[in-house]
Protein backbone atom coordinates (compact mmCIF):
# COMPACT_ATOMS: atom_id res chain seq x y z
CA UNK A 1 0.00 0.00 0.00
CA UNK A 2 1.48 3.37 -1.02
CA UNK A 3 -0.69 5.58 1.16
CA UNK A 4 1.00 7.55 3.92
CA UNK A 5 -0.51 8.64 7.22
CA UNK A 6 1.22 11.80 8.42
CA UNK A 7 1.43 12.48 12.15
CA UNK A 8 3.48 15.70 12.53
CA UNK A 9 2.75 15.94 16.25
CA UNK A 10 4.91 12.81 16.72
CA UNK A 11 7.95 14.57 15.26
CA UNK A 12 9.30 15.14 18.77
CA UNK A 13 9.33 11.36 19.32
CA UNK A 14 11.71 10.94 16.39
CA UNK A 15 13.76 14.13 16.58
CA UNK A 16 13.40 15.13 20.24
CA UNK A 17 16.15 15.26 22.79
CA UNK A 18 16.91 11.89 24.35
CA UNK A 19 17.27 11.44 28.09
CA UNK A 20 20.32 9.52 29.24
CA UNK A 21 19.44 6.69 31.59
CA UNK A 22 15.99 5.84 32.91
CA UNK A 23 13.33 8.29 31.72
CA UNK A 24 11.21 7.61 34.81
CA UNK A 25 14.11 8.31 37.17
CA UNK A 26 14.69 11.53 35.23
CA UNK A 27 11.08 12.58 35.81
CA UNK A 28 11.28 11.50 39.45
CA UNK A 29 14.29 13.72 40.14
CA UNK A 30 13.26 16.80 38.13
CA UNK A 31 10.65 18.43 40.35
CA UNK A 32 11.41 21.79 38.73
CA UNK A 33 10.04 20.65 35.34
CA UNK A 34 6.75 19.01 36.32
CA UNK A 35 4.53 20.70 33.74
CA UNK A 36 7.07 20.20 30.96
CA UNK A 37 7.36 16.50 31.87
CA UNK A 38 3.59 16.01 32.25
CA UNK A 39 3.60 15.26 35.98
CA UNK A 40 0.09 15.30 37.41
CA UNK A 41 1.01 14.49 41.01
CA UNK A 42 3.93 13.42 43.17
CA UNK A 43 4.48 12.42 46.76
CA UNK A 44 7.22 10.65 48.72
CA UNK A 45 6.42 7.21 47.21
CA UNK A 46 5.21 7.74 43.65
CA UNK A 47 4.35 10.14 40.90
CA UNK A 48 1.62 10.23 38.28
CA UNK A 49 2.65 11.30 34.79
CA UNK A 50 0.85 11.60 31.48
CA UNK A 51 1.92 9.04 28.92
CA UNK A 52 3.72 11.12 26.30
CA UNK A 53 2.64 8.71 23.54
CA UNK A 54 -0.79 7.63 24.81
CA UNK A 55 -3.19 4.95 23.67
CA UNK A 56 -6.15 7.27 24.32
CA UNK A 57 -6.58 10.86 25.58
CA UNK A 58 -5.93 11.03 29.31
CA UNK A 59 -3.69 7.93 29.50
CA UNK A 60 -1.37 8.33 32.47
CA UNK A 61 0.92 6.19 34.59
CA UNK A 62 1.58 5.71 38.29
CA UNK A 63 5.29 5.16 38.91
CA UNK A 64 7.23 4.49 42.10
CA UNK A 65 10.30 6.64 42.71
CA UNK A 66 12.23 3.45 43.44
CA UNK A 67 14.04 2.29 40.34
CA UNK A 68 13.27 -1.40 39.95
CA UNK A 69 12.17 -3.75 37.21
CA UNK A 70 10.83 -6.26 39.74
CA UNK A 71 7.39 -5.80 41.22
CA UNK A 72 8.29 -8.44 43.79
CA UNK A 73 11.09 -6.16 45.10
CA UNK A 74 8.82 -3.17 45.61
CA UNK A 75 8.06 -2.27 49.22
CA UNK A 76 4.53 -3.57 49.95
CA UNK A 77 3.57 -0.18 51.40
CA UNK A 78 4.49 1.49 48.09
CA UNK A 79 2.46 -1.12 46.17
CA UNK A 80 -0.57 -0.44 48.36
CA UNK A 81 -0.08 3.28 47.84
CA UNK A 82 0.05 2.79 44.06
CA UNK A 83 -3.20 0.81 44.29
CA UNK A 84 -4.81 3.62 46.27
CA UNK A 85 -3.68 6.15 43.66
CA UNK A 86 -5.13 3.92 40.95
CA UNK A 87 -8.54 3.99 42.63
CA UNK A 88 -8.39 7.77 42.84
CA UNK A 89 -7.09 7.98 39.27
CA UNK A 90 -10.09 6.04 37.96
CA UNK A 91 -12.45 8.50 39.66
CA UNK A 92 -10.41 11.38 38.22
CA UNK A 93 -10.67 10.04 34.66
CA UNK A 94 -14.39 9.39 34.96
CA UNK A 95 -15.01 12.91 36.27
CA UNK A 96 -12.52 14.95 34.25
CA UNK A 97 -12.93 13.44 30.79
CA UNK A 98 -16.08 11.33 31.14
CA UNK A 99 -14.28 8.01 30.73
CA UNK A 100 -16.85 5.23 30.55
CA UNK A 101 -14.29 2.64 31.59
CA UNK A 102 -10.60 2.38 32.44
CA UNK A 103 -8.00 -0.25 31.65
CA UNK A 104 -5.41 -0.64 34.41
CA UNK A 105 -2.31 -2.67 33.75
CA UNK A 106 1.38 -3.29 34.09
CA UNK A 107 3.65 -4.84 31.49
CA UNK A 108 6.47 -6.40 33.49
CA UNK A 109 9.71 -7.00 31.61
CA UNK A 110 10.44 -6.71 27.92
CA UNK A 111 8.89 -10.13 27.31
CA UNK A 112 5.76 -8.89 29.10
CA UNK A 113 5.44 -6.00 26.65
CA UNK A 114 7.01 -3.18 28.67
CA UNK A 115 8.26 -0.34 26.50
CA UNK A 116 10.37 0.89 29.42
CA UNK A 117 11.21 -2.40 31.11
CA UNK A 118 13.83 -1.16 33.57
CA UNK A 119 11.37 0.73 35.83
CA UNK A 120 7.95 -0.67 36.73
CA UNK A 121 4.91 1.49 36.09
CA UNK A 122 1.13 1.13 36.10
CA UNK A 123 -0.98 2.37 33.19
CA UNK A 124 -4.45 3.90 33.54
CA UNK A 125 -6.04 4.06 30.10
CA UNK A 126 -9.46 5.73 29.84
CA UNK A 127 -11.93 4.03 27.52
CA UNK A 128 -15.23 4.85 25.86
CA UNK A 129 -17.74 2.60 24.19
CA UNK A 130 -16.87 2.13 20.54
CA UNK A 131 -13.53 3.95 20.92
CA UNK A 132 -11.82 1.53 18.53
CA UNK A 133 -12.16 2.81 14.98
CA UNK A 134 -10.98 1.92 11.51
CA UNK A 135 -7.55 3.53 12.02
CA UNK A 136 -6.57 1.27 14.91
CA UNK A 137 -8.46 -1.77 13.62
CA UNK A 138 -7.21 -1.69 10.02
CA UNK A 139 -4.04 0.40 9.95
CA UNK A 140 -2.68 -0.18 13.44
CA UNK A 141 -2.56 3.54 14.25
CA UNK A 142 -4.32 5.57 16.92
CA UNK A 143 -6.31 8.77 16.57
CA UNK A 144 -5.90 11.20 19.46
CA UNK A 145 -9.09 13.22 19.38
CA UNK A 146 -8.16 16.17 21.57
CA UNK A 147 -5.26 18.41 22.55
CA UNK A 148 -2.74 16.74 24.89
CA UNK A 149 -2.07 19.92 26.90
CA UNK A 150 -5.78 20.57 27.36
CA UNK A 151 -6.30 17.11 28.89
CA UNK A 152 -3.14 17.41 31.03
CA UNK A 153 -4.22 20.78 32.43
CA UNK A 154 -7.74 19.58 33.17
CA UNK A 155 -6.55 16.43 34.95
CA UNK A 156 -3.90 18.33 36.91
CA UNK A 157 -6.40 20.98 38.02
CA UNK A 158 -8.66 18.28 39.47
CA UNK A 159 -5.92 16.35 41.36
CA UNK A 160 -6.59 18.17 44.67
CA UNK A 161 -10.21 16.98 44.53
CA UNK A 162 -9.13 13.31 44.39
CA UNK A 163 -5.76 13.00 46.10
CA distances (Å), 54 to each of 16, 49, 57, 82, 124, in order?
Answer: 17, 11, 7, 20, 10
Runs of H (alpha helix) within 3-146: 11-15, 23-29, 34-37, 76-97, 134
- Give catalytic status of residue 59 as yes or no: no
101 has which bridge partners? 127
- 15-21 long-range CB contacts below 8 Å, 24 or more apart? none
CA angle 21, 70, 26 (to 5 degrees): 25
Among 45, 59, 119, 121, the active-site one is 121
Question: In a 3-state reduction of DSSP, which class is residue 123?
Answer: strand
In the chain, at which residue ranges do the beta strands (DSSP E only) sit? 39-42, 46-50, 60-64, 101-105, 122-127
Percent helix, strand and coil across the chain, each rounded to 5?
45, 15, 40
Q: Which residues are catalytic?
A: 121
Amino acid sequence: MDEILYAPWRDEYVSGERIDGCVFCHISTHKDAEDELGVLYRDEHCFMVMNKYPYTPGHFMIIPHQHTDKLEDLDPAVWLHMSSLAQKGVALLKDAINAQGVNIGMNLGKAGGAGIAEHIHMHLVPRWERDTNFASSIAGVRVYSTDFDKIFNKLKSLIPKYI
